[in-house]
């Protein structure tokens, strides 16, 4: 007489638990990185008004020298708000300027995860080319 199997054996249940554990071990760090990148997107998007203002000022002035905070329609520095500690334009020359965005040291972000946009133009009539750098590049946040 054969017995009909009912339910799962202990080994089958242990295999399922092990598989779930392995999947969780991979998924949790990936999720944490994803949420940190999402928080950092606020820092990146906050640089857009400064970038646009510098481009417009450069078109009008044919130089970035006078394209500073509060002058020639360039907005003031960005203060602490949300995920952002500060946003500053600096290092202006006739054909280059630097925007430095510093994230607030919260929720997995640190002040060293800066987002730096360096704008350079070949001449007074050429468009500004932007290069990104900073601590966020190495971590893959920006």
Which one-letter DSSP state was computed for residue 30? H
| CA pair distance 112, 95, nearest whole angstrom | 27
What residue numbers bound the domain in which 44 lies? 10-139
Give ∠ CA 84-89-94 in degrees, rounded to 5.
160
Residue 38, domain member (yes or no): yes
Residue 67, domain member (yes or no): yes
What integer pLDDT is reported at residue 1 of this predicted model?
63
Containing 51, the helix (H) or strand (E) segment is: helix 48-61
Token reading at 5: 């199997």
Residue 40, domain member (yes or no): yes
Which CATH number fits the domain that encloses residue 55? 3.30.700
Model confidence band, residue 105 (pLDDT cutoffs 50, 70, 90): confident
Residue 2, domain member (yes or no): no
Residue 1, domain member (yes or no): no
pLDDT digits over 124-139, tens only?
A: 888 999 999 999 898 8
pLDDT digits over 56-102, tens only?
A: 999 999 999 999 998 888 999 998 888 899 999 998 999 999 999 99
In angstroms, what is the C-alpha Rg of the chain?
Answer: 25
Residue 4, domain member (yes or no): no
| CA pair distance 40, 113, nearest whole angstrom | 9
Task: Share the mean pLDDT of the chain.
Answer: 90
Q: What pairing do the DSSP bridges indicate for beta strands 96-103 and 84-90?
A: antiparallel
Q: Which of 95, 101, 55, 99 lies closest to 82, judged by CA?
A: 101
Q: How many domains in the chain?
A: 1
Residue 87, domain member (yes or no): yes
With beta carbons less than 8 A apart as the criterion, state whether 103 and 84 touch. yes
């Amino acid at each position: 007489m054969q017995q009909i199997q009912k339910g799962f054996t202990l080994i089958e249940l242990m295999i399922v638990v092990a598989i779930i554990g392995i999947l969780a071990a991979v998924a949790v760090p990936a999720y944490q990185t994803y949420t940190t990148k999402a928080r950092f997107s606020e820092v990146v998007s906050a640089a857009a008004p400064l970038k646009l203002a510098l481009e417009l000022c450069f078109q009008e002035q044919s130089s970035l020298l006078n394209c500073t905070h509060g002058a020639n329609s360039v907005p003031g520095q960005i203060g602490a708000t949300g995920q952002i500690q500060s946003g500053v334009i600096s290092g202006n020359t006739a054909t280059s300027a630097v925007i430095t965005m510093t994230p607030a040291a919260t929720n997995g972000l640190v002040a060293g995860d800066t987002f730096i946009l360096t704008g350079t133009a070949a001449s007074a009539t050429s468009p500004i080319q932007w290069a990104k750098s900073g601590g966020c590049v190495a971590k893959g946040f920006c």
